[in-house]
Amino acid sequence: MRLNRWFSLLLLAWTVLGHARINSPPIRSPGGDLVTACGQASFNAIERDPTGFIEEQVPFNAACEPTLCRGMLFSDQPTENIQVVTPGQSMEMSIDCTIPHGGPANVSLVDTTTDGAGTIIGSFLKTFDDFCPKPGPAPLDQTSLQFTLPSAAEIGTRCENPGDCVVQLFWATPDLAQNYYYCVDVSFGADTSTGLPATGRLEAAPATSGAARRFGFLWF
């Protein structure tokens, strides 16, 4: 009895604490359109643990794409969270491994406008054989995860519209059958095919100067 009680407390702690917390830039969050696409269980699970894994979100509605941003949709995101970026730019994610348990992970720029889980643009921007390894502490190149966005040639005319592309950190722990997806909305505020800045693009100016810097961007 005592042991059971202790065990459920442990389980509770597990659920509450989560696994890898992205401190910056801001990641996609749940909202009303997620409920419509994926169901209330997804919304509740993500609200309860923004760092959690998709297997906690069942059951899914048929329209849900859990393997793209945990099913979270651009339409639920506040505009100020969109990171306005340029091809070839360096970015950094600040991460706390709140419950380290290892497993492969990678970062990619994903075109979300194609069907299903989207399409990776270019190659993986970073890969790890053992992410948030156990025992900790995690290596600095994981907690200050730096990577370079694909080139203008690789991106082409994709990702110009906010909502089209995300930087996604995908982490799986095969031993535990847990899959994690953390998404940052990015918009390339310039016509990448010509290298000319786009005119009249909504959040280009404020986001690059204020928000993007505040959320941990590196400008090289």
Ligand X SMILES: *[C@@H]1O[C@H](CO)[C@@H](O)[C@H](O)[C@H]1NC(C)=O
Distance CA 206, CA 60 (A): 37
Cβ of residue 109: shortest distance to ligand X, in angstroms?
A: 14
Q: Contact region for ligand X (CB under 6 A) — 79-87, 133-141, 149-157, 170-178?
A: 170-178
Distance CA 170, CA 4 (A): 33
Contact 37, 71 (CB under 8 A): yes
Helix, strand or coil, per DSSP, at residue 152: helix
* Binding of ligand X by 6 (CB under 6 A): no
Question: Which two tokens mark 111?
Answer: 């075109």
* Binding of ligand X by 172 (CB under 6 A): yes
CB closer to ligand X, 172 vs 202: 172
Which of 106, 142, 168, 192: binder of ligand X (CB under 6 A)? 106
* Binding of ligand X by 215 (CB under 6 A): no
Which of 18, 31, 88, 104: binder of ligand X (CB under 6 A)? 104
Could you tell me which residues are beta bridge partners of residue 94? 24, 144
> What track of x and - describes contact with ligand X for positions 112 through 151 (by CB under 6 A)?
------------x--x------------------------
* Binding of ligand X by 43 (CB under 6 A): no
* Binding of ligand X by 171 (CB under 6 A): yes
Question: Which two tokens mark 115?
Answer: 């069907």
Contact 45, 179 (CB under 8 A): no
* Binding of ligand X by 107 (CB under 6 A): no
Cβ of residue 122: shortest distance to ligand X, in angstroms?
A: 13
Count of residues engaged in binding ligand X, rule: CB under 6 A? 9
Cβ of residue 179: shortest distance to ligand X, in angstroms?
A: 7
Helix%, strand%, coil% for the chain, nearest 5: 30, 25, 40
CA distances from 182 to 19, 65, 161, 169, 212 (A): 11, 14, 20, 5, 18
Residues that bind ligand X (CB under 6 A): 103-106, 124, 127, 170-172
